Structure 1
Amino acid sequence: MKIFAVLLTMKDEEKSQKFRSQHLKFLEDEELNGNVLAYGRFVDGAGGLIMYRGEEEEAVRKIVEQDPYIQLGARDYHMHEWDMNSHVWTKGE
């Protein structure tokens, strides 16, 4: 499995507040599906970071683009494959 860091940058603060509960529900569901490792907001209000796992970038991108924040125009995103040096999340694989 590969890991992808997805930066969600603020696009529309009002929409971000309005759709926050939908966004968090989406992340909780994807975490239960094994697609999300960790997520959180930047305390300076610039957006947030989500760590996804998947076999291929395109498959992860399809999941990211289902996020209500992306679909409803609250945030933009930038995705990068991450070569993690710690075995905290991948131990036992």
Structure 2
Amino acid sequence: MRYYIVFLQTIDAAGASQYQQAHFEYQSSLRLQGVIFAHGRLTDGWGGVAVYRAGSEADVRLYVEEDPFVRNGIRSYEIHEWDMKLAPDVSVGAREEGTK
């Protein structure tokens, strides 16, 4: 499995509220399936970031293009493969409180 960082830039903030719940549910379902390793909004309002686990960039693109924010022109996206390195005290299998 490879890791990919997806930057999701908000391009239509006014329209975001209409699709907010669907976007959240979609990304949460992918996280619970193990497709998304981590995701969340950027606190400066720029948009959000998601880290995907997938076999290829093409696989990630298929998931991202089904995101309600992307499908409806609320956010644009960039996909970058990530050669992730972890600190020695961090485990990929670990779950932090509040991530359910």
Q: TM-score, normalised by structure 1?
A: 0.91
Residue aligning to 1:20: 20
1:76 deviates by 0.2
**CA offsets 1:42-87 (integer angstroms, 9 cap, x no match):** 1110001001110111011101110000001100000100000116
Question: Unaligned regions of 5+ residues in structure 1, if any?
Answer: none
Verify: 1:77 aligned to 2:77, yes or no.
yes
Q: Provide the rounded CA distance (Å) in 2 between the counterparts of 1:45 and 1:10.
A: 8
Q: Hey, which bits of structure 1, 4+ residues long, moved more than 4 A? A: none
Q: Provide the rounded CA distance (Å) in 2 between the counterparts of 1:64 and 1:50.
A: 10
- Aligned residue for 2:60, secondary structure, equals helix
Residue aligning to 2:49: 49
Q: Provide the rounded CA distance (Å) in 2 between the counterparts of 1:6 and 1:67.
A: 12
Q: Provide the rounded CA distance (Å) in 1 between the counterparts of 2:54 and 2:93.
A: 12
1:88 deviates by 2.5
Cα RMSD between the aligned structures? Answer: 1.4
Residue aligning to 1:9: 9
Q: Provide the rounded CA distance (Å) in 1 between the counterparts of 2:2 and 2:68.
A: 23
1:41 deviates by 0.7
| Amino acid paired to 1:27 | Q
- Aligned residue for 1:19, secondary structure, equals helix
| Amino acid paired to 2:43 | V
Q: From the CA coordinates, give the structure whose radius of gyration is larger.
A: 2
1:90 deviates by 6.2
Alignment size in residue pairs: 91
1:24 deviates by 0.4
